[in-house]
Amino acid sequence: MKVLITGGAGFIGSHVVRLFVNKYPNYTIYNLDKLTYAGNLANLTDIENKPNYKFIKGDIVDADFINELFAEHQFNAVVHLAAESHVDRSITNPLEFVFTNVIGTVNLLNAYKSIWSVSSPSPLERAGVRPLFYHVSTDEVYGALGDTGMFTETTSYDPHSPYSASKASSDHFVRAYHDTYGLPVVISNCSNNYGPNHFPEKLIPLCISNIKNNKPLPIYGKGENVRDWLYVVDHARAIDVIFHTAKLGSTYNIGGHNEWTNIDVIRLLCKIMDKKLGRAEGTNEKLITFVKDRAGHDLRYAIDSTKLQNDLGWKPSLQFEEGLDKTVDWYLANEEWLTNVTSGAYQKYYESQYVKR
Ligand code: NAD
Ligand code: TYD
């Protein structure tokens, strides 16, 4: 069984690659990644020499390259995670998100369609291994909630940011290829992830990095926006279950029923890091700085993952406090990783987002 995982050098992708490589030694796992600023092979050093793991550097926007790759390897299944993933960057440069998230996804669908229709039913399929195009998406496609309610799989799409608009578009293309060509697809829409290997442009790793360096913690607006946080390894476990058992053509929401306002997340993080860094209680909270709000900032996300829990038996394994504690430990133990990703281009990015905000 040849499984192509796209974006496997990124935050979530690296956890999915690790889980698949370790758990399924009889699959060959191909990790296709362009290694943008967010892709980092240092995320995968523990598995890079495993015999069932292969890395391919490449761009999903390059249709000729993608078609040749699929023709050469005849992948049985695809788990598609490669994307531009940061809302703030999508506000500055929306077109990059159209290229990778929309055109890149359609390139992969076309390439998979051409090998899937030729080879189906393949000997592997007859042996019970099903062909699949698994598209990994976000709950942000559903838009924003007020104080009540939750996103379910039937909530209408209503994306607000260029990032969520590009992900919504890619979801629609995946469903269109199922409905039009019969392509075997599944989609999952997950809430905000946190955990090891998270690039420090997103709220939690950015604040861990800043607390460590005694820098201000920039909270957009009043910090009242609500996100539903899930430990990244629990997301990878959900992807594993959905990959192997979901009904073709279906959609699953993934989330931890774990809603927090941003200010409460950062207060908790400050407390955890006061202890771990040996600082007096309340020291880190003094770093909190309220800054200009994000344009079009979605107020609240909350995801109902009952379908996944009831139909496929998945549930999150970690409480948020425990997961955040483990995450901080990882960053403190991996100082070199953090120093490497925050040098060079990161400094320019940071300045452009925060210095005159
Ligand atoms: P990330 O930004 O950390 O990683 C993205 C990876 O894709 C990087 O390794 C990057 O090099 C690669 N990539 C980008 N453009 C590429 C291209 N043109 N060709 C090949 N590779 C390319 O993102 P992430 O947070 O790991 O998210 C992974 C997926 O999960 C995305 O599709 C995202 O929309 C989705 N998702 C993320 C979250 C979250 O909280 N981070 C939540 C739900 C869904
Ligand atoms: P982020 O981690 O960028 O994820 P997303 O926008 O996909 O939810 O942001 C999480 C929340 O934190 C969101 O409400 C925006 C807010 N935020 C800040 O207040 N300050 C920051 O520096 C960042 C990056 C985000």
Is a pLDDT exceeding 70 seen at residue 202?
Answer: yes
Contact 161, 140 (CB under 8 A): yes
Ligand 2, CB cutoff 6 Å, lining residues? 87, 192, 202-203, 206, 218-220, 225, 227, 262, 294
Ligand 1, CB cutoff 6 Å, lining residues? 7, 9-13, 33-36, 38-39, 59-61, 81-85, 100, 104, 136-138, 167, 190, 192-193, 199
Mean of pLDDT over the chain: 96
- Nearest atom of ligand 1 to the alpha carbon of 14: 26
Is a pLDDT exceeding 80 seen at residue 94?
Answer: yes
CA distance 223 to 213: 21
Is a pLDDT exceeding 80 seen at residue 122?
Answer: no
Is a pLDDT exceeding 80 seen at residue 120?
Answer: no
What separation in Å is there between the alpha carbon of 4 and the centre of ligand 2? Answer: 30
3-state secondary structure the chain: CEEEEECCCCHHHHHHHHHHHHHCCCCEEEEEECCCCCCCHHHHCCCCCCCCEEEEECCCCCHHHHHHHHHHHCCCEEEECCCCCCHHHHHHCHHHHHHHHHHHHHHHHHHHHHHHHHHCCCHHHHCCCCCEEEEEEEHHHHCCECCCCCECCCCCCCCCCHHHHHHHHHHHHHHHHHHHHCCCEEEEEECEEECCCCCCCCHHHHHHHHHHCCCCEEEECCCCCEEEEEEHHHHHHHHHHHHHHCCCCCEEEECCCCEEEHHHHHHHHHHHHHHHCCCCCCCHHHHEEEECCCCCCCCECCECCHHHHHHHCCCCCCCHHHHHHHHHHHHHHCHHHHHHHCCCHHHHHHHHHHHCC
Look at 84-93, 109-118, 205-214 and tell me which has the smallest mean pLDDT.
109-118
The pLDDT confidence band at residue 130, using thresholds 50, 70 and 90, is confident
* Ligand 1 pocket: which of 36, 40, 133 to mutate (most atoms within 8 A of CB): 36
Is a pLDDT exceeding 70 seen at residue 179?
Answer: yes
> Which residues, other chains included, contact 339 with Cβ-Cβ below 8 Å and sequence gap of 6+?
none
pLDDT number for residue 261: 98
Residue with tokens 């391919």: 56
Is a pLDDT exceeding 60 seen at residue 126?
Answer: no
Structure tokens at 79: 């788990």
Look at 38-42, 71-75, 171-175, 250-254 and tell me which has the smallest mean pLDDT.
71-75
CA distance 72 to 302: 42
- Nearest atom of ligand 2 to the alpha carbon of 262: 12
Is a pLDDT exceeding 60 seen at residue 73?
Answer: yes
Averaged pLDDT for residues 42-51: 98
Distances (CA, A) of 85 to 23, 46, 114: 27, 25, 28
Catalytic annotation, residues: 139-140, 163
Q: pLDDT tens digit string along 246-281?
A: 999 999 999 999 999 999 999 999 999 999 999 999
Averaged pLDDT for residues 300-308: 98
pLDDT number for residue 116: 82
Name all domains of the chain by residue range, CATH numbers in brackets.
2-355 (3.40.50.720)
pLDDT number for residue 357: 84
CA-CA-CA-CA torsion sign (100, 293, 156, 135): positive
Q: pLDDT tens digit string along 322-334?
A: 999 999 999 999 9
pLDDT number for residue 129: 63
CA trace torsion 320, 322, 326, 328 (10° rounding): 60
pLDDT number for residue 124: 55
* Ligand 1 pocket: which of 6, 11, 80 to mutate (most atoms within 8 A of CB): 11
The values of phi and psi at residue 76, to 5°, are -75, -35
CA-CA-CA-CA torsion sign (318, 255, 17, 164): negative
Is a pLDDT exceeding 60 seen at residue 128?
Answer: no
Going by alpha carbons, the residue nearest to atom 25 of ligand 2 is 203
Q: What is the pTM of this model?
A: 0.98
Averaged pLDDT for residues 101-117: 94
CA distance 270 to 355: 22
Residue with tokens 């078609």: 67
Contact 188, 151 (CB under 8 A): no
Percent of the chain at pLDDT exceeding 70: 97
pLDDT number for residue 253: 98
| Residues paired with residue 53 on neighbouring β-strands, in sequence order | 29
pLDDT number for residue 119: 59
Is a pLDDT exceeding 80 seen at residue 320?
Answer: yes
The pLDDT confidence band at residue 127, using thresholds 50, 70 and 90, is low
